[in-house]
């Protein structure tokens, strides 16, 4: 099939590459010439495991094209995926300007039947707005009653996890399609069924529903996952106060099949492009409908405060004034296997350390380039703080002479460090772990002063000087 993908961010690029991988002819459009130049030169503007290899294969096979040519993109695809960004507006609502502009471009130049697929995460009612924009453009062209230029707007929300997006697309647990029941909708359903047939060979994964329910499903899914994270973080803060171990609690409740283990890890808050934005957008949608989502308002508030918990532990140990102190920070991206710094807890943790006078040496396996850009933007008004932030090429480079190690992202390479070496290069054996990577008892036996999230603190054993 001929497919057009509008937008080459995480969702658009993964969708386009994976659809090309299974044999479709895919045209990827982006209005950013820099992105298209990178892609046409064999690069990938984002970090996503497995994605570059798929793009290389499909480009060599001639099944994927990258371009800024809007008219060519509309002419190419029978199915037009809109996968552009929907950043939060000032009031927390989703900014749909890029979605509607994509729809407008389709309406301006479409010739023949088109299935317009909302792949971007959009609030309930967006498909109706997309339809209205396309109809408006068709009317300007005198095609309002043209049967040849009919179209259908489909909601097909994505459920991709950054860092595992390729696997999620190729092995989906569900494919949600919101499609109208009219004549154009029935034609769209057949095309979408054909497109997704390779993913349904073992068993049917497609869930058909009305368009508004499909739009709502995406927000409800992310809101539920964000709620689980904030719930466990709230429990971890109470565990700190009553002397319980949140990891033992997690195992205790996660063994209940009605609850399960997914998204029950305590830490220093969620980030990324989805959960913060989607929770805010759903709250805003409710407000516009005259309804308050009190649970989600609490979820958002808990997450905001949770990003300060690690700094609170640091200042409780070392004092509010951190002038003259140096901290090694491991992990910058909001989660492992991505370079995404959007709403990353590291941004708040590092900003707070710098504001208290500290020096920070930070490392991340893939996000350093993006982190340099983000912190230059975050701290442009306080250049003297930015001057106290340095980025290193290895995790070991952060440690020498540092007063403490602070862990913010749970990359695999951080899970089994050489603790003897770590102790020998730090000024003092002090770790603040925002992701609960290590066992407190083991740290105590090693003589490491270890502070984690929601687990009892034990005074480290004093070891002989040569230990």
Degrees, nearest 5: CA angle 369-353-364? 25
Q: Is 92 one of the annotated binding-site residues?
A: no
Q: How far from each other are the two terminal CA atoms of the chain, in whole angstroms?
A: 65
Q: Is 86 one of the annotated binding-site residues?
A: yes
Q: Is 218 one of the annotated binding-site residues?
A: yes
Q: Is 444 one of the annotated binding-site residues?
A: no
Q: Is 2 one of the annotated binding-site residues?
A: no
User: Residue 3: phi, psi to the nearest 5?
Assistant: -125, 140
Q: Is 121 one of the annotated binding-site residues?
A: yes
Degrees, nearest 5: CA angle 360-364-367? 110
DSSP states along 401-424 = T-SEEEE-S--GGGSS--HHHHHH
User: CA 341, CA 358: separation in Å to the nearest integer?
Assistant: 21
Q: Is 401 one of the annotated binding-site residues?
A: no
User: CA 199, CA 171: separation in Å to the nearest integer?
Assistant: 7
Q: Is 307 one of the annotated binding-site residues?
A: no
Q: Is 35 one of the annotated binding-site residues?
A: yes
Structure tokens at 465: 């000087």
Look up residue 349 and give its DSSP letter: H
User: CA 237, CA 451: separation in Å to the nearest integer?
Assistant: 13
User: CA 341, CA 335: separation in Å to the nearest integer?
Assistant: 9
Q: Tell me how crowded residue 47 is: count the other CB atoms within 10 A of its CB.
A: 20
Active site residue 268: no
Q: Is 231 one of the annotated binding-site residues?
A: no
Long-range CB contacts for residues 279-282, cutoff 8 Å, separation at least 24: 279/222, 279/223, 279/226, 280/88, 280/92, 280/93, 281/86, 281/88, 281/92, 281/93, 281/94, 281/121, 281/123, 281/219, 282/123, 282/219, 282/220, 282/223
402 in Cβ contact with 361 (< 8 Å): yes
Q: Is 313 one of the annotated binding-site residues?
A: no
Out of 18, 28, 268, 274, the active site residue is: 274
Q: Is 267 one of the annotated binding-site residues?
A: yes
Annotated binding site for substrate: 159-162, 218, 263-267, 271, 335
Annotated binding residues for NAD(+), written as ranges, equal 30, 35, 86, 121, 162, 277, 342
Q: Binding site, residues? A: 30, 35, 86, 121, 159-162, 218, 263-267, 271, 277, 335, 342
- Report the catalytic residues: 274
């Amino acid at each position: 099939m001929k497919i057009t993908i509008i937008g080459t961010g995480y969702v658009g690029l993964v969708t386009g590459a994976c659809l090309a991988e299974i044999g479709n002819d895919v045209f990827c459009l982006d209005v950013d010439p820099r992105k298209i130049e990178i892609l046409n030169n064999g690069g990938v503007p984002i970090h996503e495991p497995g994605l570059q290899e798929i793009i290389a294969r499909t480009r060599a096979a001639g099944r994927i094209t990258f371009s800024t040519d809007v008219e060519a993109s509309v002419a190419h695809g029978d199915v037009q995926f809109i996968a552009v960004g929907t950043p939060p507006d000032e009031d927390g609502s989703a900014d749909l300007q890029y979605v509607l502009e994509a729809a407008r471009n389709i309406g301006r130049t479409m010739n023949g039947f088109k299935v317009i697929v909302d792949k971007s995460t959009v609030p309930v009612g967006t498909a109706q707005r997309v339809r209205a924009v396309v109809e408006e453009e068709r009317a300007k062209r005198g095609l309002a009653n043209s049967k040849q230029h009919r179209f259908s707007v489909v909601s097909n929300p994505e459920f991709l996890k950054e860092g595992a997006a390729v696997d999620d697309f190729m092995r989906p647990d569900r494919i949600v399609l919101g499609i109208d029941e009219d004549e154009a909708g029935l034609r769209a359903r057949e095309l979408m069924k054909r497109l997704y047939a390779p993913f349904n060979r073992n068993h049917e994964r497609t869930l058909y529903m009305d368009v508004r329910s499909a739009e709502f499903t995406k927000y409800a899914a992310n809101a539920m996952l964000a709620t689980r994270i904030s719930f466990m973080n709230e429990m971890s803060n109470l565990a700190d106060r009553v002397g319980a171990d949140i990891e033992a609690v997690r195992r205790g409740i996660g063994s209940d099949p009605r609850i399960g283990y997914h998204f029950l890890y305590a830490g220093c808050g969620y980030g990324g492009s989805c959960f913060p934005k989607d929770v805010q957008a759903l709250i805003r949608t409710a407000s516009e409908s005259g309804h308050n989502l009190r649970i989600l308002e609490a979820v958002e508030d808990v997450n905001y405060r949770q990003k300060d918990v690690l700094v609170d532990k640091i200042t409780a140990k070392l004092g509010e004034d951190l002038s003259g102190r140096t901290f090694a920070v491991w992990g910058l991206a909001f989660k492992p296997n991505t370079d995404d710094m959007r709403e990353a807890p590291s941004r708040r943790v590092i900003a707070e350390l710098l504001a208290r006078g500290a020096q920070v040496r930070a490392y991340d396996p893939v996000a350093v380039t993006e982190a340099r850009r983000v912190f230059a933007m975050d701290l442009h008004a306080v250049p003297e703080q930015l001057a106290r932030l340095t980025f290193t090429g290895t995790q070991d480079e952060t440690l020498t002479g540092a007063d403490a190690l602070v862990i913010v992202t749970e990359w695999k390479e951080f899970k089994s460090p050489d603790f003897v070496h770590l102790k020998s290069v730090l000024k003092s054996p002090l770790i603040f772990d925002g992701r609960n990577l290590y066992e407190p008892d083991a740290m105590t036996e090693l003589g490491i002063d270890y502070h984690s999230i929601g687990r009892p603190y034990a005074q480290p054993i004093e070891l002989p000087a040569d230990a």
